Structure 1
Amino acid sequence: MIQNARVLQDDFLPKEIVHRHEAVNQMSKALEPVLEDDRPQDTFLVGPSGAGKTCIARYTVDQLQEQVLDIKSHYIDCWQHSNRFRVLYKILEGVKTSYDIHRSTPEDEMIARIQSVDSPYLLILDEVDQLDDMEVLRKLYPMPHITMVLIANRREEVLSTLDERLQSRLRSSVTIRFDRYTQAELVSLLDDRITWGLAPDTITTDQVHRIADVAAGNARDAISILRSAARNADHEGASEIRDSDISSAIPAAREELHEQNLKKLNEDQHAVYDILTDEGELPPNEIYDLYADRVSEPKTKRTVRTYLRKLEDYDLVRATGNGPNRTYEARDR
């Protein structure tokens, strides 16, 4: 049944984009000056999880590199590589100059190597709001050959942590906003994955619509449910996906995504999540007090509020109410 398992992974990059053409056009226009040996515009891609931001960024940069041979690019997941050393290391890794870099390498030496790159370098900084220290953006911005594609759920959350000068400069960057997919768009996206990844006639139109409906605009969720359903049917030797496969795939896919998101959390974020798991529904002030008692070097209240919004973005916690009445609780798996 499964003919190409890679296509059913949510990070698979398709050869053609079936939606988000306007976003591709906007990003292409921002980056196209590099084709004339001019500096492209830094770009913000903002919107909810599963809205296609990462896919569009990688696709557009790949398309640009097919037109110009001497453009370099690199993708960095700032949630996985959140401190300044790791980000600088990954940047050097993208131009094959990280081979002798180690923890004791002076930062100035790493910066000098990045400055010495002799061709345009497009950096996709995904989950940029997860950086421990935004100072790395200030060091990268003045480099004329570096162009940053910054991906986050909310632009203001990133800008508010920067000094005024860099904040002002990045406010002038191109901002591309993503909404959740419509059900019709999700159905179309799933149809392409089904065509490329599954044998013909293995899933019905009604079943595809059911998956899209349950996913509620989140492409990552939709693809995960499809993958889980196909895997269930394939393991049981079925020639087609059954309704029961989808029914069991929905909670299984959600649990898989839940576990993946938990693994992304840093130590402080995990402490916040564990408090909500242990204590139940709490307001932010109580969460912070318990968090400050639990960790040796607590972050600021503002940072913990950012953590709570991030946990909510990834369906790890549920928020209820507004303003002083707002509370948070851990979501079930």
Structure 2
Amino acid sequence: MLLWDETLFKNGEVLELDYVPEYFAHRDSQMQALKFSLKPAMRGMRPVNCLVKGPPGTGKTTAVLKVFSEMKEHAGNVVFVKVNCQMDSTRFAVVSRIYEKLVNIKPPTSGIAFRKLFDKVIKQLVDSNKILVVALDDINYLFHEGHADEIMYSLLRAHEQYPGVKIAVIAIISDVGISHHFDPRVGSVFLPEEVEFLRYDANEIRDIVTNRIQHAFYQDVVPDEVCERVVEYVDLTGDLRVGIDLLRRSGLNAERRASRKISLEDVEKAYEASRLIYLCRSIRSLAEHEKTLLGLIAKENNMQAGELYKSFHEITGLGYTRFYEIIGKMSDSQLLDADFSGKGMRGRTRVIKPRYEPQDILKCLEQ
């Protein structure tokens, strides 16, 4: 039996989703491509822009952060900024994050125009003779309402208005089945080096999971069959973050039982929560009225657009245009389907239904 003041975790931090591991295997070619693209900054030149793409949970963000960390030691003239576009989902929010990194002060959240704040960022770069490298992580979240093109255009064309400024962008995009294309005005100056991250295969997953187990838990806490079950679940979902979260939750389940070992039952119980990581993460990024609409869709499961709009309008007071903008955004994010039913005038009646199990959506909305 595990005593009340004992723990199975040697270093639980290793199992946090934002932890950047020292051991980062099976991504050597991608790391080299990123380093080569940023190498010109070491000589005071503008780095090559990058488009980093691949399925969720394949190491994209970690690879970029590892490269940033390594280059900081040798590039004192470069400022590296990573922006989480899921949280900072407007042009102003992105530039605010860059400004904060440059001057260590948060700008006002209101009362200041984007152009004025952007000018301050550029002036700071020019005055300090710094090169800026911005990683726009999960840039998917900026596409729907045009924010991606707006911020990319501002950053990549800054040198035309402010001679001498040097800015490079690493756009990190999760491949979730929806194609995203930049405006031609952006594409003509972006011209990125494309760095693709494929899904890990079973052997790679096993190696990574085993390494995390060795660093996170004390010896003999995780039996071989438990490790294999975690590997199977990661291979099933394609998302390494599921496996990392699964190990953490399984360990907590075992401690709750006062057991000195994690059992398969601990893993099965934990998987119910871990499998929803990506869904809950997507839902957390939604505005309150967007969550309200998604909740209505999950509760009804299958509604015609007209009926859904009436319910949505009664609760929020928002109009039809905004309603359809939200439907489009959540369709792009693969949270729902909005298909024409073939009924109604010219067969244009739309049926709105969730892509995930309604109970899973409702569970994430409650968190």
Distance 1:328 1:177, change over 3 A: farther
Give, in angstroms, the shift of residue 167 of structure 1: 2.6
Q: TM-score, normalization: structure 1?
A: 0.85
CA distance in 2, matches of 1:125, 1:255: 24
Q: Does the 8 Å CA contact 1:54/1:151 hold for their aligned counterparts? A: yes
The structure having more radius of gyration, on CA atoms, is 2
Q: Does the 8 Å CA contact 1:79/1:264 hold for their aligned counterparts? A: yes
Distance 1:23 1:320, change over 3 A: farther
Note the alpha carbon deviations across 1:290-327, whole angstroms, 9 max, x for none: 35864615448577344223144xxxx5x699999997
Note the alpha carbon deviations across 1:153-181, whole angstroms, 9 max, x for none: 24984424x3x2113333x2111222222
**Aligned CA-pair RMSD:** 2.9
1:202 aligns with 2:221: yes
Distance 1:102 1:326, change over 3 A: closer
Q: Does the 8 Å CA contact 2:226/2:264 hold for their aligned counterparts? A: yes
| Correspondent of 1:106 among 102, 113, 122 | 113
Q: Does the 8 Å CA contact 2:309/2:323 hold for their aligned counterparts? A: no
Give, in angstroms, the shift of residue 5 of structure 1: 1.3
Q: 1:60 maps to what in 2?
A: 67
Distance 1:281 1:300, change over 3 A: closer
Q: Percent identity?
A: 18
CA distance in 1, matches of 2:306, 2:23: 45
Give, in angstroms, the shift of residue 93 of structure 1: 0.8
Q: 1:180 maps to what in 2?
A: 199
Q: 2:262 maps to what in 1?
A: 241
Q: TM-score, normalization: structure 2?
A: 0.78
CA distance in 2, matches of 1:210, 1:323: 41
Aligned to 2:284, what secondary structure does the other structure show? helix
Q: 2:4 maps to what in 1?
A: none
Q: 1:251 maps to what in 2?
A: 272
- Unpaired segments of 5 or more residues in structure 1? none
- 1:1-333 to 2 correspondence within 5 Å? 1-99=8-106, 101-116=108-123, 117=125, 118-131=129-142, 132=145, 133-134=147-148, 135-143=150-158, 144-154=165-175, 157-160=179-182, 162=183, 164-170=184-190, 172-215=191-234, 216=236, 217-255=238-276, 258-267=279-288, 269-281=290-302, 286-287=304-305, 290-291=308-309, 294=313, 296-297=318-319, 298-299=321-322, 304-312=327-335, 328-329=353-354, 330-331=356-357, 332-333=359-360
Aligned letter for 1:173? Answer: P
Give, in angstroms, the shift of residue 190 of structure 1: 1.0
What is the total number of aligned residue pairs between the two structures? Answer: 322
Q: Does the 8 Å CA contact 1:2/1:234 hold for their aligned counterparts? A: no
- Unpaired segments of 5 or more residues in structure 2? 1-7, 159-164, 343-349, 361-367
CA distance in 1, matches of 2:58, 2:152: 24
Give, in angstroms, the shift of residue 84 of structure 1: 2.2
CA distance in 1, matches of 2:255, 2:186: 52
Aligned to 2:76, what secondary structure does the other structure show? coil
